[in-house]
A and B are shown apart, each in its own frame.
Chain A
Amino acid sequence: MLARRIIPCLDCDLGVPGGRVVKGIEFKQIRYAGIPWELAGKYYQEGADEIVFLDITASHERRETMVDVIKKTSESVFVPLSVGGGIRSVDEATDAFHAGADKVTVNTAALKRPELISEIADRYGRQAVVVAIDAKRRPGREEGRVVIEAPDGPCWFECSFYGGREFTGIDAIDWACRAERLGAGEILLTSMDRDGTYDGFDIPLTGAVSSRVKIPVIASGGCASPEHMLEVFQKTSASAALAASIFHFGEWQIGEIKRYLRENGVNVRL
């Protein structure tokens, strides 16, 4: 049986030489956490099942820095590496794969031009394409939306792009299903309402998406404790849980969380 995965996420500011891992709160405030490849190496040693790098600057000239970060990381980290942030074309994905990435994560560019998902999947296989979705809760019922009956009332979810700065009007749950049909191998699902809040994963959102697609869903946003991870694995069929701050600022080690999950009946790799 496949294990549930624990994935640390490194949001990288590549505006400084060598890059820095940063952490935003509700997509706004920023705090520095360390050097990307050093943190990746530490998390690998602690038992991370995979590592995600997101280039939050995502400007063209900084892509070279990301290539360096991946090259350096892949010399000493032997778990799958996923890279995202500003990837707009198959050529840009190719750069990431050639640097040693196993998967690329696409978000804004795929919302603007959904064929990008198929193009990368055709060339590198669907397992190499992760579609990241930043979902914002919209209370109430609306015609043509996938409405979820959350404990605090009905709502739907809207996709955001440009790193949470703009909204698309696109239904996030619907988009996840469409991304799967287009060839996505995984969905990285971030709750914008929970991201950086330490309130735990958005269970209704994660449950709604993971029950509608067959591909793995990575839950993201709001994780502050092993209990939050346990909750998302017990209440939804998410394949993986992604977190950042909880690891960066020394609150929990990955190994501790995995042992806790195993003790509570979750199949994880120890």
Chain B
Amino acid sequence: MIAIVDYGMGNLFSIYNAMQKVEAAPRIVQQPEELENVDGIVIPGVGAFGKCMERLSRFECALGRALEDGVPMLGICIGLQVLFERSEESPGAKGLGWIRGEVVKLPEGVMIPQMGWNSLTIERQVPILEGINDGDMFYFVHSYYGVPEDRTLIAATTEHGVKVTAAVAKDNLSATQFHPEKSGEKGLLILKNFVRSVRC
């Protein structure tokens, strides 16, 4: 069973429907205890970094245990950003810190939020990006982006004034800044890849 963590930030219909579409048998989970014995975890999220961390904090221990147990996890949008240590969006708020580095604002002079379809550059071949090619487009909605200290964790980037982290991967942890659940068939392919990593 794949759990979608519902920590009260935004509607989960889209990701739920998309996971169903790729035959993942998802379950929306509202309590940390429910994360025991799941096969995979999706961390979605919209809104501000600080608010998200505030709401997510009660899941922190359960998520940390699952990470150590090697449970495949997929962060989406803010679900990618909370993996970092901190964000310029909410100074003082502490992220999960599973990826060292911080989340910074998109540069002046570009459209903020970046909203729309942008193309990926694959920086590193990772399981969730199997079948995805340079130039494939995905749907982004964000004003901040993650900058890992270890740049080799970046799996894909996109251009929006600067090179923007579009996907990261580290062991059993993967995350996308874009919304695979809103990115048409290519987006569904990424979710399918994630589901496959859960099953094998």
Contact = CB atoms under 8 A, between A and B. Distances in A.
A2 B21 contact: no
A78 B118 CA distance: 16
Given A74-B17, A79-B182, A239 B116 contact: yes
B17 A125 contact: no
Contacts, number: 81
Interface stretch (B35-43, B107-115, B125-133): B107-115
Interface stretch (B61-69, B82-90, B144-152, B183-191): B183-191
A2 B137 CA distance: 9
Given A1-B159, A78-B184, A185-B113, A100 B17 contact: yes
B14 A102 contact: yes
Interface in A138-185: 185
Which of B46, B159, B187 is the most central at the interface, judged by chain A CB atoms within 10 Å of its CB? Answer: B46
Contact of B116 (A99, A100, A126, A216): A216
Given A99-B13, A102-B14, A215-B111, A78 B116 contact: no
A2 B160 contact: yes
Interface of A, secondary structure class, is loop
Contacts of B183: 78-79
B117 A5 contact: yes
A269 interface: yes
Given A125-B47, A216-B111, A269-B137, A78 B117 contact: no
B115 A78 contact: no
B181 interface: yes
Which of A5, A44, A49, A102 is the most central at the interface, judged by chain B CB atoms within 10 Å of its CB? Answer: A102
A105 B182 CA distance: 18
A265 B121 CA distance: 20
A74 B15 CA distance: 10
A80 B187 CA distance: 12
Contacts of B21: 75-76, 78
Contacts of A125: 46-47, 113, 141
A127 interface: yes
Given A2-B117, A5-B117, A78 B13 contact: no
A102 B139 CA distance: 12
A116 to B, nearest CB: 20
Interface of B, secondary structure class, is mixed
Interface in B66-122: 111, 113-119
B11 interface: yes
Given A5-B117, A125-B46, A80 B184 contact: no
Contacts of A97: 11
Interface string A24-54: 0000000000000000000010010100000
B156 interface: no
A102 B115 CA distance: 12
Which of B11, B113, B181 is the most central at the interface, judged by chain A CB atoms within 10 Å of its CB? Answer: B11
A185 B114 CA distance: 10
B117 A269 contact: yes
A5 B114 CA distance: 14
Interface string A119-138: 00000111100000000000
24 contacts: A1-B159, A2-B114, A2-B118, A3-B118, A3-B119, A49-B116, A75-B17, A76-B21, A78-B18, A78-B181, A78-B184, A78-B185, A97-B11, A99-B13, A124-B10, A124-B46, A125-B46, A125-B113, A127-B115, A185-B113, A185-B115, A186-B115, A269-B137, A269-B184
Given A1-B118, A78-B14, A240-B116, 14 more contacts: A1-B160, A2-B111, A3-B116, A3-B117, A3-B118, A5-B117, A75-B20, A76-B17, A78-B184, A100-B11, A100-B13, A124-B46, A269-B137, A269-B184
